[in-house]
Each structure stands twice: as C-alpha cells, then as structure tokens.
Amino acid sequence: MSREPIHIALFGAAGRMGKVLLHEARTFPSLKITHAFDPAGAGQYFDELMIEPKCYGVHDHVKVAIDFSTAGSVVENVQCCRQAKVNYVCGVTGVPENVKKELREAAKDIAVLHAPNMSPGMNVLFALVAEAAAALPGYEVYLSEAHHTKKVDAPSGTAHGALRAAEWLADQPAGFYGMGDVLGL
C-alpha cells in the first residue's frame, strides 16, 4: 500500500542548507517539499517548485515546515506555521533567548522541534558525552564542534537529520521537542 508523501514547506530554500534539503528530499519517498520560501531566491525554480519571497500562508495539505533561514526570520516563520496549524522544525543557529521563548509559546498550539544541530551522529555523540560526564563525577567535561567555513553537509548528515525530524514531527501533538526525541535518546 502506497502512502501519500508528507507535504513540507521549506524556509531558507535558496541558502546553502536549503539547496541541500531540496536535493536530499528526493531520496525520501515519504516526503515532498511543496512550498519553498526565501527572499534571496524569490522567483527561482527548483524543478517545478518556485521559491516565494516569504510565507503568505501555507495550504492545508502541508503537515510540517523546516526552517533553515535566519535567526531574524524565525518568529515570522513560526507564526505563519502556528496560524496554519503546521508543525515546525527549526534548524536555525544563533537563535536568541527571546526567539526561543516564541518557539516555546508556539509549541502550545503546534509541534515545534528546535535543534541548532540536526546531525543524528552529533546528537548521539552529545548524548554519549552527557552520559560519560554523569558517570565521571569530578571530571571537567566539555565538547567542542568545529567546521571550516566551506563545510559541505554530506559528512554530518544535517540534511538527512532535518528530513528525518520533519518525518517524525509531522504527526506529533503540540509540544516542544529536540533531536533527542526524534532519535529516542
């Protein structure tokens, strides 16, 4: 039995991560990006999908949105999703506390997943480090992640993680989630 793919809206579609997500979504038969937003790429096409400058509304058939735009756009994007009752995956880095508060507020009405690092491998590593730190009282433990400025996504799995998060979040109830929830950590 073939299931209709989960329809997704993508914020930041013309950015580096957005372009990777548009390509990688093709490998997820259970997902289909049907809306793409990015002021920098407005009017450009990816296959038959035209990138719109901003979210003027999301149609009923969209179940979840993925956001890799900018910290300054997150509030407007999550409000667009909240109004349309569309669950929201936020992979934007550098989100200030007042914006995180807005994400938690939106989570009262929709499922919101915020993870500044969507790589499943890194999230498993974070969980392992936390477990190791708890098992080693008295030790000073820290984890540092670094990438060069031209990092390509492929090694980290950030796109596979974001798409996996969207697939998982599509049917979740309202609430605030992280990658640990997606990965069962």
* Span 89-114, pLDDT tens digits: 999 999 999 999 999 999 999 999 99
Q: Where are the domains of the chain?
A: 6-180
List the catalytic residue out of 61, 85, 101, 151: 151
pTM: 0.86
7 belongs to the catalytic site: no
Band (153; pLDDT cuts 50, 70, 90) = very low
The predicted-structure confidence for 121-131, as pLDDT tens digits, reads as follows 888 888 888 88
Instruction: Give the E-state strand segments of the chain in sequence order.
Output: 6-11, 31-37, 45-46, 49-52, 62-67, 87-90, 111-114, 175-177
Tell me, what amino acid is at 173? P
147 belongs to the catalytic site: yes
Q: Regarding the domain delimited by 6-180, which CATH topology (the fold level of the hierarchy) does it fall under? A: Rossmann fold (3.40.50)
- pLDDT score of 121: 84
Indicate if the pLDDT at residue 30 is higher than 90.
yes
List the catalytic residue out of 35, 100, 147, 150: 147
The predicted-structure confidence for 166-184, as pLDDT tens digits, reads as follows 999 999 999 999 999 998 9
Q: Parallel, antiparallel, or unpaired: how do β-strands 175-177 and 45-46 relate?
A: unpaired
Q: Which DSSP string do the residues of 123-140 spell out, in sequence order?
A: HHHHHHHHHHHHHSTT--
